[in-house]
Amino acid sequence: MYYVKEDDLYLIPTAEVPITNMYRDVIVKPEDFPIKNVGYTPCFRREAGSYGKDVRGLNRLHQFDKVEIVQVVHPDQSYAVLDTMVDYVKHLLEKLELPFRVARLCGGDLGFTSALTYDMEVYSAAQKRWLEVSSISNFESYQANRLKLRFKQDKKTSLAHTLNGSALALPRIMAALLENNQTDQGVKVPKALQPYTGFEIID
C-alpha cells in the first residue's frame, strides 16, 4: 500500500480493492451471476525509484493508469470465467498487434490470495525482454470469505468466488507500441487505434 502520511490516506495499488469491497456483506442472488465490473483508475506503487536498469522509464512508476476487470461468480463457473477473462485480454493485445505471451504462474510465484494466476507479457524490443502488462487471477472464496460475500441457493448460504485482471496497465503498453512499431517513416499506429488517433504514423 502507498501511504500518504500528511493526509492520513492510502492510495490504491489497483481498482480491484475498492470494486471488490462494494460487495462487502452482500448476499447475491444466483440469477445475478456473473456480476461484471470494470474500473479505470490511477494506481500507485511504492517500489518506483529503485536503482537499476530494470526500473527505469515506464517500467516502474509511482503513478500509472490501469483498466481493471473484476467478476463475482458462482463457484462452479469461476475457472471457466478465468479462461474467458484471459481470452479477453489476449484479444486486446492481438488488436494492438503486440507480440505477447501468456505465463501460468507456478505455486511458488502465486500471491497467497490467488488460487491461479496468468500473467500477460509483451515483448520490449528496446530492452529485449518480456514485460508484464496484465495479471488475471481466480481468488476462489479467499476474498469473499473476508468480505462475507455470499449467495443463497436451495436455502443454503455459500461463499461466492471473485476474479480480477488488469486490461491493461497503460504505460508499458505505450512503451511496447512505440518500441515494436518503428519504421523508416516513423512509428506505425495499429489499425485498431487509428480511428481514435486520426493518423497512421507518428513521425
Looking at the annotation, which residues are catalytic?
45, 60, 132, 135, 172
Residue 185's φ and ψ, nearest 5 degrees, are -90, -20
Could you report how far apart the first and last alpha carbons of the chain are, in Å?
Answer: 40
Residue of 14, 24, 46 whose CA lies nearest to 137: 14
Distance between CA atoms of residues 82 and 70, nearest Å? 11
Within 10 angstroms of residue 116's Cβ, the number of other Cβ atoms is: 17
The residues, ordered by sequence, that sit 6+ positions from 80 with a Cβ below 8 Å of its Cβ are: none
Beta pairing class for 35-44 and 116-124: unpaired
Of 12, 59, 21, the residue nearest 40 (C-alpha): 12
Query: How far is the C-alpha of 37 from the C-alpha of 70, rounded, in Å?
Result: 5
Contact between 78 and 161 under an 8 Å Cβ cutoff? The reply is yes
